[in-house]
RNA sequence: GGCCCCAUCGUCUAGCGGCCUAGGAUGUCACCCUUUCAAGGUGAAGACACGGGUUCGAACCCCGUUGGGGCUACCA
């Protein structure tokens, strides 16, 4: 029965009832994890968790030319950061180990040979030079490029001769020459490919390593993968894969090709080669590690990625992964590619920061401050975290807003920053003087008592709250943008606060004298 | 070029033939609150790509056009 003839509800039942749900994420370790890769992994993980199945991590390292020994570690680090724990795979192992393809070579070679023996694949001795020539000739004639299947027609004797001479060969799949391959995709339904537009793709390279095409089919079968959810980039080779499954005669998994993440401007897919830029011209990171370092919460990242191409079901956009697991399914996946909505990530990250329990936020902020080279005192951190919670879009913003709490030496603000809107130097000077007197006299330096003496001062000096408190806040923090005044002084303490105010007074006096001298 | 996929506000999306005068979110703008910055509150502008069908009725189904995207390796 065709998937298309089922209603979506029947399809869900089929999905889950057919066999135990086992999904996999199968990256090739060529560097840090791409943000699109994380999303693919996330969808696979969510689906497996929803159905109480297994999520497998498999490493597709069959390209020796792109081997990067540090990549695997980096990759696992990114997945773990995002909370995507795998049930089977590197470091965990499991019943189908090894989960690294370079350690499964013998199997691929055997199966490739089996296909050759069965007449479903053939050895190809063509050199890369000849392949190139064939391609050039075809393009020159305006034909689609591709291999001309020369070796498909070699006689057994000819093959034997070349092998005897020790000629290198690859194994190519014998794609049917006529007819159609009708593939089923859980998201797109049925697609018909004409076989005469297809290629005899390489299954086993001349170095004895399999290509993706061969390796993934073998492994998905061996590892009993029930659902293959991968990026749409694979869709064009889907008919090939379909035919390989048919050639082996195995039961196929259900396939779901996930839409690709496009640049925020919608032009082309997200790539590190051509890094996208936001409206200010800043580069938008493509690698998960940049987000890890950039002050983003994994909770926010997961939430954000889950919202692209999939929908929670009601109008909520802010949710936890536990909630997403309850609802995740294939039917609500949107087949259309989508631009990467960066501004939404900023917003969601802020929302998740605000949702964090205070001591959890403090813990994460400690990390951020320490990474910035600051020495964090617990007592201060505990008091500063609540001041930051509503002000952060990214954790790393904390350094600019509140880093001064953890710096030993204080850099006073330039005098011109002290003077607030519609004020002059003399008024500012007076405001500082009166405030110092009032604050120094306090025996209790709490938020409330500060307010009790400073608020009446505004009327006396004919200043607005914004003006008076602005002068003091800049004086005490050294910054124009900072945590609020009373809370800040409370953390700093009376002695330090007053000292800083006096410092401001001095610098202001100096600058007034200087300008008098100059004129 | 060839093959394939896709198409609702700038962007992410809801919508599965009548609940649509098209809903939400984000972003933008305005106002309120306010001790800077935020957060919060209120409001505004903003979309069914186009053309044909089918139907009593179409954002929704069909065809075409246009536009966008993916692929086009002994990479995955």
Contact A334/A261 with Cβ under 8 angstroms? no
Distance A243 CA to B1 C1' (A): 26
Q: What is the pLDDT of residues A65-122, one digit of tens each?
A: 888 889 999 999 999 999 999 999 999 999 999 999 999 999 999 999 999 999 999 9
**Nucleotide with the nearest C1' to A215 CA:** B76
pLDDT at position A6 is: 38
Query: What is A368-391 written as a DSSP string?
Result: HHHHTTPPPPHHHHHHHHHHHHTT
Nucleotide nearest to A139 (CA to C1'): B1
Q: How many Å does it take to go from CA A38 to C1' B17?
A: 38
Closest residue (CA to C1') to nucleotide B27 in the complex: A343
State the pLDDT at residue A370: 98
**Does the pLDDT value for residue A230 go beyond 50?**
yes
Q: What is the mean pLDDT of residues A198-227?
A: 98
Give the tens place of pLDDT for each residue, A439-452: 999 999 999 999 99
Taking only the tens place, the pLDDT of each residue in A330-346 is 999 999 999 999 999 99
Give the C-alpha distances (Å, rounded to integers) separating A259 from A184, A227, A254, A256, A345.
16, 16, 16, 10, 19
ipTM exceeding 0.90?
Answer: yes
Phi then psi for residue A442, to 5 deg, are -70, 140
If you average pLDDT over residues A51-64, what whole number do you get?
96
Nearest nucleotide (C1') to alpha carbon of A310: B13
Q: Name the closest residue (CA) to the C1' of nucleotide B11.
A: A341
- Tell me what the mean pLDDT of segment A210-229 comes to: 98
CA A390 to C1' B40, whole Å? 10
Q: How far is the CA of A185 from the C1' of B54 (A)?
A: 28
What pLDDT shows up at residue A512?
Answer: 75
**CA contacts within 13 A on the Cβ side of A368:** 26
Express each pLDDT in A176-191 by its tens digit: 999 999 999 999 999 9
Residues 81-110 of A with CB under 7 A from strand B: none
Residue A3: which pLDDT band, with cuts at 50, 70 and 90? Answer: very low
Q: How far is the CA of A27 from the C1' of B4 (A)?
A: 24
pLDDT confidence of residue A17: 52
State yes or no: pLDDT of A405 exceeds 50. yes
Among A223-227, A280-284, A344-348, the minimum mean pLDDT is found in A280-284
Identify the pLDDT of residue A509. 87
Q: Does residue A152 register a pLDDT over 80?
A: yes
* Strand B closer than 7 A to residue A31 Cβ: no
Dump strand ranges (E) for A150-212: 170-173, 180-185, 189-194, 202-204
Q: Which nucleotide is nearest to A210 (CA to C1')?
A: B74
CB proximity A205–strand B (7 Å threshold): yes
- pLDDT on residue A88: 98
Three-class SS state of A28: coil
DSSP one-letter code for A280: T
Give yes or no for CB of A339 within 7 Å of strand B: yes
Mean pLDDT computed over every residue of chain A: 93
Quote the pLDDT of residue A2.
Answer: 35
User: What local confidence, expressed as pLDDT, does residue A517 receive?
Assistant: 57
pLDDT for res A518: 57
Between CA A4 and CA A410 the distance in angstroms is 69
pLDDT band at A212 (very low <50, low <70, confident <90, very high): very high
pLDDT for residue A112: 98
Which residues of A in 395-414 have their CB below 7 Å from strand B's atoms? 401
Which pLDDT belongs to residue A69?
86
The whole-number pLDDT of residue A516 equals: 62
Confidence of residue A350 (pLDDT cuts 50, 70, 90): very high
Catalytic residue among A272, A277, A344, A421: A272
Where does residue A402 fall: left (phi above 0), alpha (psi -120 to 50 degrees), or beta otherwise? alpha
Residue A93 to residue A62: CA distance in whole angstroms? 19
A279 catalytic residue (yes or no): no
The model's pLDDT over A233-249, given as tens digits with 9 standing for 90+, comes to 999 999 999 999 999 99
Average pLDDT over residues A483-494: 97
Cut 0.80: pTM above it: yes
Mean pLDDT, residues A405-428: 93
**Subset of residues 155-174 in chain A with CB less than 7 angstroms from any atom in strand B:** 168, 170
**Size (chain A), residues:** 519
Closest CA to A222 of A117, A118, A64, A108: A108
Checking each nucleotide's C1' against the CA of A315, the nearest proves to be B24
């Amino acid at each position: 029965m065709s998937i298309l003839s089922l209603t979506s509800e029947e399809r869900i039942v089929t999905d889950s009832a057919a066999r135990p749900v086992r999904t996999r994420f199968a990256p090739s370790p060529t560097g840090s994890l791409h943000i699109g890769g994380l999303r693919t992994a996330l969808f696979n993980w969510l689906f497996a968790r929803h159905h109480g199945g297994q999520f497998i991590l498999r490493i597709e390292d069959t390209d020796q030319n792109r081997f990067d020994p540090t990549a695997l570690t980096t990759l696992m680090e990114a997945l773990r950061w995002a909370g995507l724990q795998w049930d089977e795979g590197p470091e965990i192992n499991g019943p189908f180990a090894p989960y690294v393809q370079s350690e499964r070579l013998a199997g691929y070679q055997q199966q490739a040979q089996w296909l050759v023996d069965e007449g479903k694949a053939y050895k190809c001795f063509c050199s890369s030079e000849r392949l190139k020539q064939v391609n050039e000739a075809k393009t020159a004639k305006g034909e689609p490029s591709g291999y001309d299947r020369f070796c498909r027609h070699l006689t057994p004797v000819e093959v034997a001769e070349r092998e005897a001479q020790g000629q290198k060969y690859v194994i190519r799949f014998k794609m049917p020459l006529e007819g159609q391959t009708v593939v089923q995709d859980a998201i797109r339904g049925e697609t018909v490919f004409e076989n005469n537009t297809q290629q005899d793709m390489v299954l086993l390279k001349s170095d004895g390593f399999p290509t993706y095409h061969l390796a993934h089919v073998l492994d998905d079968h061996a590892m009993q993968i029930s659902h293959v959810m991968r990026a749409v980039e694979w869709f064009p080779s889907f008919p090939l894969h379909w035919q390989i499954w048919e050639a082996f005669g195995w039961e196929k998994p259900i396939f779901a090709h996930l839409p690709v993440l496009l640049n925020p401007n919608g032009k082309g897919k997200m790539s590190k080669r051509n890094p996208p830029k936001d409206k200010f011209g800043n580069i938008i990171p493509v690698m998960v590690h940049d987000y890890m370092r950039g002050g983003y919460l994994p909770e926010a990242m997961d939430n954000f990625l889950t919202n692209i191409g999939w929908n929670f079901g009601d109008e909520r956009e802010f949710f936890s992964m536990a909630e997403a697991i309850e609802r995740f399914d294939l039917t609500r996946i949107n087949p259309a590619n989508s631009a990467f909505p960066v501004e939404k990530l900023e917003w969601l990250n802020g929302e998740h920061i605000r949702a964090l329990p205070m001591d959890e936020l403090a813990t994460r902020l400690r990390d951020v401050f320490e990474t910035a080279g600051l020495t964090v005192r617990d007592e201060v951190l505990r008091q500063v975290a609540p001041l930051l919670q509503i002000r952060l879009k990214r954790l790393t913003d904390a350094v600019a807003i509140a880093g001064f709490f953890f710096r030993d030496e204080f850099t006073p603000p330039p005098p011109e920053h002290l003077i607030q809107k519609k004020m002059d130097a003399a008024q500012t000077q007076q405001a500082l003087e009166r405030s110092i007197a009032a604050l120094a006299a306090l025996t209790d330096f709490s938020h409330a008592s500060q307010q009790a003496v400073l608020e009446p001062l505004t009327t006396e000096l004919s200043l607005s709250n914004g003006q008076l408190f602005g002068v003091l806040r800049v004086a005490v923090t050294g910054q124009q943008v900072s945590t609020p005044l009373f809370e800040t002084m409370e953390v700093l303490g009376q002695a330090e606060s007053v000292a800083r105010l006096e410092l401001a007074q001095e610098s202001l006096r100096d600058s007034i004298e200087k300008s008098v001298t100059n004129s």
